[in-house]
A and B are shown apart, each in its own frame.
Chain A
Amino acid sequence: MLDLVDETPRVRSLVLAVPGWPEHLAGQHVDVRLTAEDGYQAERSYSIASAPAGERLTLTVERLDDGEVSPYLAGELRAGDELELRGPIGGYFVWEGALGGPLLLVAGGSGICPLMAMLRLRQAAASAVPTRLLYSSRSLEDVIYRDELDRLVAMGSGLEVIHTLTRSIPEGWSGLHRRIDTAMLGAVAWPPAERPLIFVCGPTPLVESAAESLVNLGHEPAHIKTERFGPTGG
Chain B
Amino acid sequence: MTEQELRLDGNAAAGLLQEIFVHEVTAARGACAACGSVGPMGAQHLYMSPRSPGAVLRCSACEGVLMVIVRAGGRFRLGLQGLVWIEMQDVDATS
For the complex, what is the distance from the CA of A91 to the CA of B55, rounded to whole Å?
A: 19
Number of interface residues of A (CB under 8 A): 26
CB of A230, distance to nearest CB on chain B (Å):
4
Question: Which one of A45, A86, A222, A230 lies within 8 Å of B6 (CB-CB)?
Answer: A230
Question: Which one of A91, A225, A226, A228 lies within 8 Å of B24 (CB-CB)?
Answer: A91
Number of interface residues of B (CB under 8 A): 24
Q: Which residue of B is nearest A90, CB measured?
A: B14
List CB contacts (< 8 Å) of A199-229 with chain B: 204-205, 208, 222, 225-228
Question: Given A92-B40, A204-B4, are A227 and B14 neighbors across the interface (CB < 8 Å)?
Answer: no
| Contact across chains for B26 and A90 when beta carbons are under 8 A apart | yes
A83 contacts chain B at the CB level, 8 A cutoff: no
Question: Which one of A90, A204, A227, A232 lies within 8 Å of B49 (CB-CB)?
Answer: A232
| Contact across chains for B9 and A226 when beta carbons are under 8 A apart | yes
Contact residues in B for A226 (Cβ distance below 8 Å)? 9, 43
Q: Which residue of B is nearest A88, CB measured?
A: B14
B18 contacts chain A at the CB level, 8 A cutoff: yes
For the complex, what is the distance from the CA of A68 to the CA of B51, rounded to whole Å?
A: 11
Binding site for A on B (CB under 8 A): 1, 4-12, 14-15, 18, 24, 26-27, 39-43, 49-51
